[in-house]
Amino acid sequence: MSEQEKLKIFDDHRNLIGVASRSDVHKLGLWHEVFHCWFIRNEEGIDYIYLQLRSKSKKDYPDLLDITAAGHLLADETVLDGVREIEEEIGVSVDFDELINLGEIRYCVTKQGFIDKELANVFLYKSEYNFDDFTLQVEEVAGIVRAEFTDFAQLWFGEKDEIEISGFEITDEGEKCSIRKHVSRDKFVPHEVSFYKEVIGKLQELCVDRIGG
């Protein structure tokens, strides 16, 4: 997405107050809408959460693990349009009515010259896709990995210092290679820990115990 793409902006009470460029949204710390979709797949009774590996060339948070598919909603879009992010980033087509709505989560990430105040529309997708089904937008996404959901939860609730991930990444030469390694929290995009905990809580409460059913 171009830094000049237009996004809707909101006040602290979530009232729509206008439109601004993506660069101004992050420079001035304006609330804006994003779409998040977490893929979870049940295999042989175990729930796995799927994560994208952000491209090394990304301006924000390169080479870190993140939500399966996510992106900004443009000024002329609604949350229903968020599914385009899934197809654009990881190359699978999902209908909006297949998603389970986990609600809106607000959070803010601040670093020098960058204030990211997001109104995240968060969804779960119960996936049947294999790693071979994903076609990555390599300038955005360098790989797809998965972790056991229970491990992921324990990582963010402080019960584990690192977890195992496995999957694949696309090398700089364009080749697909397998990944299997242990990672700690510092390998993930630095959303607030409270954000990860809230997502995990919603997944546990609403969905994960029924994903295999």
pLDDT tens, position by position, for the chain (213 residues)? 567 799 999 999 999 999 999 999 999 999 999 999 999 999 999 999 999 999 999 888 899 999 999 999 999 999 999 999 999 999 999 999 999 999 999 989 888 888 999 999 999 999 999 999 999 999 999 999 999 999 999 999 999 999 999 999 999 899 999 999 999 999 999 988 999 999 999 999 875 554 444
Give CA separation, 129 vs 48, 74, 100, 198, in Å.
12, 28, 17, 25
- Residue 93 region by backbone torsions, left for phi larger than 0, else alpha for psi between -120 and 50, else beta: beta
Cα separation values, 122 from 79, 83, 102, 105, 129, Å: 10, 12, 5, 7, 20
State pTM to two decimals.
0.92
